Structure 1
Amino acid sequence: MPGVAPQRHGLVSLRRLCWLRWALLAGQALLLVSCESVAGIHLPYKPLLYLFAAQAIFNVTTVARLHWHGQHNTVPSDAELMAQMIVDLTALSAILFYTGGATNPFVSFYLPGLAIASAILPWRFVSALALYALACYSLLLLDYVPLHLHNPDNAVNYHLAGMWLNFVASAVMIAFFVARLSGVLRQRDAQLNLAREQLLRESRAEALNDQAAAVAHEIGTPLATLAVIAGELRGDASDAARGTTPVADYLPDFRTMEQQLDLCRSILARLRADREPLAPQPLDTWLAPFVERWQLRHPQASLQSTLAPDAATQPVDAARVSQILTILLDNAARSQQAMGHAMRQAPPLRLDITGDGHALRFAVTDHGGGIPPALRAQLGEAPVASTHGGQGIGLYLAQSAARQLGGSLSWQDHRAGGTVALLRLPLAGAAPLNLTSPDFQP
């Protein structure tokens, strides 16, 4: 999600205060130059020039401070931002002192300053600044340098024109600064909400994984019992003395049953092993055993895999990547099997692994019935029932595992019919991917 990270909010505020101060200095200089010729108001140029120079020097130090924060990867504290605001209010008070005090229509410039402070500072600092601004305003009621008008009869018109300029400047300041900062705060809130949702998804996925581990423990004994029975039946079927009995006709089925039971036991053993962290494996080492294990799970399906040379040596988290791709391939096989009644020879499933310099891409392609658009938007975000009888828990776990690896899952229609499930993972040592719209076209 693009936006400003919460910890960078103070740096953004200080940078915008700096730019706003430059803009105000430019406006003040323009008024100083044109005030006498346009409005007939004589100003004390010498003290005002000193004040403008002091503000410019202070803003140069602010620019240096911004560079310092950037070099040291730090952010301004609330106290530093408050000091900036105090300097601005003090400079405004000094300028007003030499330009009519409380009678100057720009005296209400205190309010935009306080509005900016309320957008970037905690309430206790804003309260202190409000009291400071009130004290300055009160002093300006008592002591100030009166304005010298060439034509005092136009004082009311000058005051109204000044109020109009004050309103325009205040509106611009609030629109530029406060509204922009409010947008930053909204982006920050959106990022926090996204983080909470991500944490909730991971918690649900962790709970499902714990349930899977408990189920795996519980079904260990029934699987062992079935393995013993299948072994005895296979022994009876292969006994020459029983060659004339009907049980001999089921010998291939008994062998397949034993094979599948052995596969189930190996999956349970791998589940226990996967709970321990394993070292990453290169793709060219991991791919062939993975394809062989999956093919044993689906002897009626055909899987073709390709591995691009630029991705062959890339290391991957074998346990999680195997879990994700197993779920994707299982769903692809079921989708294609559902179309098997209308297809005498179903095309093989495909697993294509490529790299693009920034990420690894695992594309699982099937020629099934496809995924309805309404369902596709929900896949991986929550358990949802599919058209093939599944509940979407596997894809939910797969999406969670992909996000934990810094990647994501997406689904697209294939040109020749069916679906392409795309898993994108960052290369080893790279930053997590920001995948709002994957750039893969099947």
Structure 2
Amino acid sequence: MVSLRRLFWLRWALLSAQATMLLTCEALAGVILPYRPLLIIFALQTLFNLMTGLRLHLHSSDDAAPSDAELMGQLMVDLTALSAILFFTGGATNPFVSFYLPGLAIAAAILPWRMVMALALFALACYSVLLLEYVPLNLINPDNAVNYHLAGMWLNFVASAVMIAFFVARLSGVLRQRDAQLSQAQEQLLREARVEALNAQAAAVAHEIGTPLSTLAVIAGELRGDAEHRQHGATPVAGYLADLQTMEQQIELCKSILARLREDHATVAPQAIASWLPAFVERWQLRHPQAQLQASAAPAAAAQEIEPARVGQILTILLDNAARSQQGATPPLQLSIALESGTPHATLCFRVADHGGGIAPLLRQHLGEAPVASSHGGQGIGAYLAQSTALRMGGRLSWHDHAGGGTVAELRLPLAARAAAGA
């Protein structure tokens, strides 16, 4: 689409330059041109470019790109029109005969090499014919022919340089941008493939771990029953009653987490942050009874809706890492949610702050981009999964140093991208 659009506008520029030369050539250069055939050629070029504009509109409506054959046909028409103009204006003796080269340079930038070779052979054939058959230029003063030829060559060089610089250089920039987008898409596909592999592995582990958890639940229940029984009150197990109750609670929590894996998260309706946040904090505190968490949401953010499954998954990973980094430090973890409107789209910003030992700069560069080992024994898989989920939602994760020591993890989700993902 970009190539055809540039050909369309370049052809209008050439037609304007040709019309200007037709009107001023006799007065400025003393060359009498055959106006009638040239006007017919210009009219046909104008009609063809109007049809090209219609094709551009149809391609835009269908969101389709022109084929290589269509682009080759466009350039073939241009070379044919140039040959016809040169035929009536001196043939190979016209200094603008090298205008074939910019056309071939454009073809080389947008077409496969076989089509470029076909156009080059066509241009060579036209040039060869113009060596033998052409209408000589009618000069008012033939003695100035050499000067006119040199001036024409200078104008030809300027026009060719402008065409190549404008079209080929700009088109090369578009192609480089497209290559960069393709590379980014390939990286995204690779990331998603890794995430799918990890998800499949997690599903298999969840299936296998169900039986051991059920066994542990039975054993913990029996031990708690023995600890609570009056006849067994003097046995050593009675001293572990509180621990056994906590163990049962954690096992039930694990079983409830596994049960949630069976839910289809795609069908979970969005929830407002105000109603979702307290339940999320309560569930996380059950998993980390030794940690303290303070959560707050700004009024503007509390009214926004989120996807509870995916956002909850990301924040759970961030909070787990923060709790592991802080390792029982007295200051509570901080979870704050704000709505920022300084960007092109309003953005929800989730901040998780801890007072741990921080993240090494070298580790931070790769955190979330690939699984990496940390000083706390983790492998960085959670951060990698969280980053992948954030990218699929149109957002991104980042980590910064906390002013009071520790780390701040930020999840930013554009509202427009989040709405599109939920649609």
TM-score normalised over the length of structure 2: 0.88
Which whole-Å CA distance do the structure 1 matches of 2:332 and 2:294 have between them?
A: 10
Matches of residues 278-427 of structure 1 in structure 2 within 5 Å?
278-283=267-272, 284-312=274-302, 314-337=304-327, 340=329, 345-352=330-337, 354=339, 356=341, 358-427=346-415
Distance 1:244-1:395 versus aligned 2 partners, 3 A rule: same
2:121 pairs with one of 125, 131, 139: 131
Deviations 1:197-228 (CA, angstroms, capped at 9, x unpaired): 11111111111111122222222232233223
Shift in Å, 1:326: 0.8
SS of match in other structure, 1:116: helix
Q: Do the aligned residues in 1 keep the contact of 2:32 with 2:139 (CA within 8 Å)?
A: yes
Shift in Å, 1:355: 6.8
Shift in Å, 1:31: 3.1
Shift in Å, 1:392: 0.4
Which whole-Å CA distance do the structure 1 matches of 2:81 and 2:313 have between them?
A: 64
> Which residue type is aligned with residue 424 of structure 1?
R
Greater CA drift, 71-80 or 211-220:
71-80
Give the structure 2 partner of residue 8 of structure 1.
none
Shift in Å, 1:299: 0.4
Shift in Å, 1:68: 4.2
Q: Do the aligned residues in 2 keep the contact of 1:366 with 1:419 (CA within 8 Å)?
A: yes
Give the structure 2 partner of residue 211 of structure 1.
201
Matches of residues 42-57 of structure 1 in structure 2 within 5 Å?
42-57=32-47
Which whole-Å CA distance do the structure 2 matches of 1:355 and 1:154 have between them?
A: 71
Give the structure 2 partner of residue 5 of structure 1.
none
Deviations 1:101-127 (CA, angstroms, capped at 9, x unpaired): 011121121121122122223344434
Give the structure 1 partner of residue 180 of structure 2.
190
2:30 pairs with one of 28, 36, 40: 40
Which whole-Å CA distance do the structure 2 matches of 1:353 and 1:149 have between them?
A: 78
- Structure 1 residue 62 corresponds to structure 2 residue 52: yes
Q: Do the aligned residues in 2 keep the contact of 1:310 with 1:355 (CA within 8 Å)?
A: no
Which whole-Å CA distance do the structure 2 matches of 1:182 and 1:431 have between them?
A: 32
Distance 1:426-1:229 versus aligned 2 partners, 3 A rule: same
Shift in Å, 1:67: 3.7
Deviations 1:217-262 (CA, angstroms, capped at 9, x unpaired): 2222322332233223323333334444443332222211221122
Q: Do the aligned residues in 1 keep the contact of 2:396 with 2:412 (CA within 8 Å)?
A: yes
SS of match in other structure, 2:268: coil
Q: Do the aligned residues in 1 keep the contact of 2:91 with 2:135 (CA within 8 Å)?
A: yes
Distance 1:351-1:186 versus aligned 2 partners, 3 A rule: same
- Structure 1 residue 233 corresponds to structure 2 residue 220: no
TM-score normalised over the length of structure 1: 0.85
Distance 1:367-1:354 versus aligned 2 partners, 3 A rule: farther
Deviations 1:129-155 (CA, angstroms, capped at 9, x unpaired): 333323322221221111133443443
SS of match in other structure, 2:136: coil
Q: Do the aligned residues in 2 keep the contact of 1:106 with 1:166 (CA within 8 Å)?
A: yes
Which whole-Å CA distance do the structure 2 matches of 1:430 and 1:135 have between them?
A: 58
Shift in Å, 1:193: 1.4
Shift in Å, 1:64: 4.2
Shift in Å, 1:98: 1.3
- Structure 1 residue 21 corresponds to structure 2 residue 11: yes
- Structure 1 residue 97 corresponds to structure 2 residue 87: yes
Q: Do the aligned residues in 2 keep the contact of 1:426 with 1:432 (CA within 8 Å)?
A: no
- Structure 1 residue 200 corresponds to structure 2 residue 190: yes
Shift in Å, 1:315: 4.2
> Which residue type is aligned with residue 125 of structure 2?
A
Which whole-Å CA distance do the structure 1 matches of 2:57 and 2:189 have between them?
A: 35
Q: Do the aligned residues in 1 keep the contact of 2:31 with 2:138 (CA within 8 Å)?
A: yes
Which whole-Å CA distance do the structure 2 matches of 1:105 and 1:72 have between them?
A: 42
SS of match in other structure, 2:411: strand
Distance 1:153-1:160 versus aligned 2 partners, 3 A rule: same
Identity of aligned residues (%): 70
Q: Do the aligned residues in 1 keep the contact of 2:191 with 2:388 (CA within 8 Å)?
A: yes
> Which residue type is aligned with residue 282 of structure 1?
Q
Mark the runs of 5 or more structure 2 residues left unpaired by the alignment: none
Q: Kindly tell me the number of residue pairs found equivalent between the two proteins.
A: 417
Which whole-Å CA distance do the structure 2 matches of 1:189 and 1:327 have between them?
A: 34
Shift in Å, 1:182: 1.6
> Which residue type is aligned with residue 134 of structure 2?
Y
Greater CA drift, 152-161 or 282-291:
152-161
SS of match in other structure, 1:377: helix
Which whole-Å CA distance do the structure 1 matches of 2:162 and 2:5 have between them?
A: 17
